[in-house]
Copies of this chain bind each other. A is one copy, B any other.
Amino acid sequence: MNVYRYEQNPLVTPADVKPHRADFEVIGAFNAGVTTYNGEIIMVLRVAERPISADPEIVKAPIYNPETNELEIFEFRLDDPAYDFSDPRVIRENGSTQGFKYLTSLSYLRIARSKDGHQFTIDDQPFVYPSNELEVFGIEDPRVTKIDDTYYIYFSAVSPVGVGESLVSTKDFITVEHHGMIFAPENKDVLIFPEKINGKYYALHRPVPKSVGEPEMWIAESTNLLYWGNHKYLLGLREGMWDSGRMGGGAVPIKTERGWLELYHGATTDHRYCMGAVLLDLEDPSKVIARSDKPILEPEADYEVDGFFGNVVFSCGAVVEGDVVKMYYGVADTSMACAELSLQEIIDSLTYIK
């Protein structure tokens, strides 16, 4: 697989983003949804900020209060025996090995714009910010599907009651309409197809069940993009492979002659995140045709290996021009990068099922 990483990578870093409050610092500008608008490439960045802590023994957790519409800052001492601070992203109750009680940063959406896809200008203000009780811990990992003249932007809404997927829409990247939560907890990595297929909209989604089952990919259908049903299991983890631990949709599905090409992320159980691809039937996207036995992109560059949470390449969007797939992707839960791949090469690299 020929992968051309841009010389300017990482294209956007936390240092490029002005904090939205003077007492906060930006620690991530990553996992951006990507689309084109008015001749520009638009990144809808996930920006993660945390309250500045003068005391290294104090960890702070920012919490959005939907009743006052203000952020509240909770403080924890690193030596507090009630909590586990070993994962820098989260605060866990001591003894619990998974999940979290609080997040150490607040994520929201912010726009970056580019004429050439390499040099981006970042808006001064947040674009979509937590605004209700389902977004108390922030909003994460947006994707953007353009249908007609409307851009549908959907993201993980994170709060103490769960992580689900919420939807907003815009026509101009200024005014935003809110459509509520479209996939109930626990769910992430929703990808809405860019057109109806035989009269129905489709979306990939990635539930995280508790009693039985794994974080794997499902597909659902809709007539209005707001209400979803006929959920079907689509694609599972593969023991011993690059997508053995968890997985989820990445970029908006790309229509090709051979099928719908989905660029998806997979991780091993030790959290090494790679990108691969799956090909779905054009007429019935609940049918899997072919799949990557090996990743099409792995964390190899310095900026992919090192960072806030290293060894991560995680795409939430791509721009396709002819055979060129410009895959934008978050690196190390820190910054944004881009790599160009050949659409044909990706398709040729897949292993066909049966």
Contact = CB atoms under 8 A, between A and B. Distances in A.
Interface of A: 98-101, 133-134, 137, 158-164, 179-187, 205, 207-214, 216, 218, 220-224, 226-233, 236
6 contacts: A158-B212, A159-B212, A161-B216, A161-B233, A162-B213, A226-B230
A141 B99 CA distance: 28
Contact of A183 (B100, B184, B236): B184
How many identical chains are in the complex? 2
Contact of A231 (B100, B184, B229): B184
Contacts of A186: 186, 207, 209-211, 213
Contacts of A232: 134, 180-181
A267 to B, nearest CB: 15
A229 B230 contact: no
Contacts of A210: 98-99, 186, 208-210
Interface centre among A134, A184, A213, A223 (most CB of B within 10 A): A184
Closest 7 A/B residue pairs (Cβ): A162-B213, A227-B227, A186-B209, A227-B229, A180-B230, A162-B209, A185-B209
B229 A180 contact: yes
A158 B231 CA distance: 13
Residue of A134, A179, A180, A213 contacting most chain B CB atoms (<10 Å): A213
Contacts of A185: 207, 209, 213
Given A160-B212, A161-B213, 15 more contacts: A101-B212, A134-B233, A137-B212, A158-B212, A161-B236, A162-B212, A181-B229, A181-B232, A183-B184, A184-B207, A185-B213, A186-B186, A186-B213, A222-B227, A227-B230
Nearest to A184: B231
B161 A231 contact: no
A251 to B, nearest CB: 21
A218 B182 CA distance: 13
A41 to B, nearest CB: 30
Given A162-B209, A163-B212, A212-B160, A180 B231 contact: yes
A100 B224 CA distance: 36
Contacts of A161: 209, 212-214, 216, 233, 236
Contacts of A227: 221-224, 227-230
Counting chain B CB atoms within 10 Å of each CB, the highest count among A160, A205, A210, A228 belongs to A210
Contacts of A230: 179-182, 226-227
A337 to B, nearest CB: 27
A160 B231 contact: no
A188 to B, nearest CB: 9
Contacts of A162: 207, 209, 212-213, 233
Contact of A229 (B159, B216, B228): B228
A211 B164 contact: no
A164, A183, A185: which has the most chain B beta carbons within 10 Å? A185
Contacts of A158: 212
B98 A211 contact: yes
Nearest to A222: B227
A345 to B, nearest CB: 32
